[in-house]
């Protein structure tokens, strides 16, 4: 008996001293037995303020999750700071979140230039920069930026996708491009030219703007003056709405492709005018709750009821609410997979270990698979055209 007692006592000491006899909880800064702190900056003000709705939907989702007991007993504390869509302000905010608020990770920051600005700091500090709302291909580069992973389809592939359709439908077209003069817009233009290949000479006019410009009307007028019949709008919601309104004012109807991040009925088409927006095409990757074809879809029904219960008064036609819901579910999955090993290293590992993960609001057949060498999260898209009320798939 004494021998057995000594063995048991030794096992207890071994486990208490950090041995592997019993599973040990491992925590990053901002994680405890009851809490996981998550940080983000968001454009709650400024030229991209429409996208602040992403953060509001995420906060509502995490509140719902917390009311049900959280993740493995831990509640999510989402700390959001306003970056005004300013890279400098975002860098300052991220530093505050990491060094002052001690968050475990940074989640769903919006914009290519914003995420590019904060990425060096987060990779140097080895803080996960997860599921960002930006499509640069550089956010799917684990060899260079191990701690940064995107979410939405990347900008280069999106623009190439549009180029292929334009070449098929208007092989002799005159192409015009309206683009935001930053990393986001320039990467989309590069993707378009790559997709066009030796037909890039079809581009007869490229018009740029700064995110802070009050209007883009003169650029639209210049595009029309160049004889453009195929138009690419590589913009966010505010400038997209302005451009569509101006197209309508000019009674000009070129074949138009819109960046998927701006293709929101609530944030773009309603301000522009639903009738004026009819005919706009984009790369769809989520079910549109405004579309009658999803009216009986069980996952959209769940989301609609969730919205009514948790975001009363919010615009159901604003697909940013749907996107925020989807972003939050993706992070929930990662944290659930992490279990009690909630170090930053393991959180990042789990983000790069999603296997056939199905987000309910993605298009049928879209599964998420990531790995240590593959940081592309959502890759399934279909071309769709707005009919004035909802989207129709384009064959």
Q: What is the pLDDT of residue 16?
A: 40
User: Which of 84, 87, 81 is CA-nearest to residue 106?
Assistant: 81
Same domain, 134 and 200: no
The mean pLDDT value of the chain amounts to 93
Same domain, 207 and 217: yes
Phi-psi region of 133 (alpha: psi -120 to 50; beta: other; left: phi over 0): beta
Give the burial class of 345: count Cβ atoms within 10 A of its Cβ; 0-12 exposed, 13-18 middle, 19 or more buried.
middle
Same domain, 113 and 93: yes
Asked, for residue 11, whether it belongs to a domain, the answer is no
Same domain, 46 and 138: yes
Q: Which residues pair with 77 in a beta bridge?
A: 37
Asked, for residue 390, whether it belongs to a domain, the answer is no
Q: What is the pLDDT of residue 23?
A: 62
Residue whose pair of structure tokens reads 């769903």 in the numeric block: 108
Asked, for residue 82, whether it belongs to a domain, the answer is yes
Residues in CB range of 47: below 8 A, 6 or more apart: 85, 211, 212, 236, 238
Does residue 81 have a pLDDT over 80?
yes
Structural element, H or E, at residue 42: strand 35-42
Same domain, 59 and 87: yes
Same domain, 262 and 320: no
Does residue 18 have a pLDDT over 80?
no
Residues in CB range of 26: below 8 A, 6 or more apart: 340, 341, 342, 343, 346
Does residue 19 have a pLDDT over 70?
no
Asked, for residue 121, whether it belongs to a domain, the answer is yes
Asked, for residue 395, whether it belongs to a domain, the answer is no
User: Which of 192, 244, 185, 189 is CA-nearest to residue 386?
Assistant: 244
Asked, for residue 207, whether it belongs to a domain, the answer is yes
Q: How confident is the model at residue 7 (pLDDT cuts 50, 70, 90)?
A: very low
What is the tens place of the pLDDT at every residue in 119-177?
Answer: 999 999 999 999 999 999 999 999 999 999 999 999 999 999 999 999 999 999 999 99
Same domain, 36 and 147: yes
Asked, for residue 212, whether it belongs to a domain, the answer is yes
The whole model's pTM is what? 0.88
Residue 114 belongs to domain with CATH number: 3.40.50.2300
Same domain, 328 and 314: yes
Average pLDDT over residues 229-255: 98
Same domain, 61 and 85: yes
Q: Which residues pair with 27 in a beta bridge?
A: 342
Domain housing 162: 155-284
Same domain, 40 and 126: yes
- Measure the CA–CA gap between 304 and 148, rounded to whole angstroms: 31
What is the tens place of the pLDDT at every residue in 331-386?
Answer: 999 999 999 999 999 999 999 999 999 999 999 999 999 999 999 999 999 999 99
Supply 201's token pair: 């000479």
- Measure the CA–CA gap between 177 and 331, rounded to whole angstroms: 35
Q: What is the dihedral of CA 205, 211, 212, 217, to 10 degrees?
A: 30
Average pLDDT over residues 270-281: 98
From first CA to last CA, the distance across the chain in angstroms is: 77
Supply 300's token pair: 């959209």
């Amino acid at each position: 008996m004494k021998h057995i007692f000594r063995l048991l006592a030794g096992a207890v000491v071994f486990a208490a001293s950090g041995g592997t006899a019993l599973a040990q909880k491992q925590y990053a800064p901002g994680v405890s037995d009851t809490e996981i702190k998550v940080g983000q900056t968001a454009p709650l003000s400024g030229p991209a303020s429409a996208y602040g709705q992403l953060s509001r939907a995420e906060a509502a989702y995490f509140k719902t999750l917390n009311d049900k007991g959280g993740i493995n007993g831990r509640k999510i504390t989402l700390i959001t700071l306003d970056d005004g869509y300013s890279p400098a302000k975002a860098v300052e905010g991220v530093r505050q979140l990491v060094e002052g608020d001690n968050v475990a990770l940074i989640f769903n920051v919006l914009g290519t230039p914003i995420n590019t600005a904060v990425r060096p700091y987060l990779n140097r500090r080895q803080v996960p920069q997860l599921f960002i709302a930006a499509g640069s291909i550089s956010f799917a580069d684990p060899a260079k930026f191990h701690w940064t992973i995107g979410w939405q389809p990347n900008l280069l592939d999106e623009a190439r996708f549009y180029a292929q359709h334009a070449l098929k439908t208007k092989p002799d077209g005159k192409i015009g491009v309206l683009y935001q003069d930053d990393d986001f817009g320039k990467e989309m233009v590069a993707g378009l030219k790559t997709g066009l290949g030796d037909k890039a000479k079809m581009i007869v006019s490229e018009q740029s703007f700064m995110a802070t410009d009050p209007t883009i009307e003169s650029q639209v007028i210049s595009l029309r003056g160049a004889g453009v019949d195929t138009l690419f709008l590589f913009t966010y919601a505010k400038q997209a709405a302005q451009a569509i309104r101006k197209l309508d004012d000019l009674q000009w109807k070129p074949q138009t492709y819109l960046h998927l991040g701006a293709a929101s009925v609530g944030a773009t088409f309603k301000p522009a005018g639903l009738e004026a927006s009819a005919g706009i095409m984009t790369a769809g990757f989520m079910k549109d709750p405004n579309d009658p074809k999803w009216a009986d879809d069980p996952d959209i029904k769940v989301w609609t009821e969730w919205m009514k219960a948790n975001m009363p008064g919010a615009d159901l036609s604003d697909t940013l609410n749907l996107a925020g819901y989807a972003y939050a579910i993706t992070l929930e999955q990662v944290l659930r997979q992490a279990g009690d090993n909630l170090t930053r290293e393991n959180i990042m590992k789990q983000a790069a270990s999603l296997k056939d993960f199905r987000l309910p609001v993605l298009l049928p057949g879209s599964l998420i698979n990531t790995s240590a060498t593959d940081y592309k999260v959502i890759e399934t898209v279909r071309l769709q055209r707005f009919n004035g009320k909802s989207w129709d798939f384009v064959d």
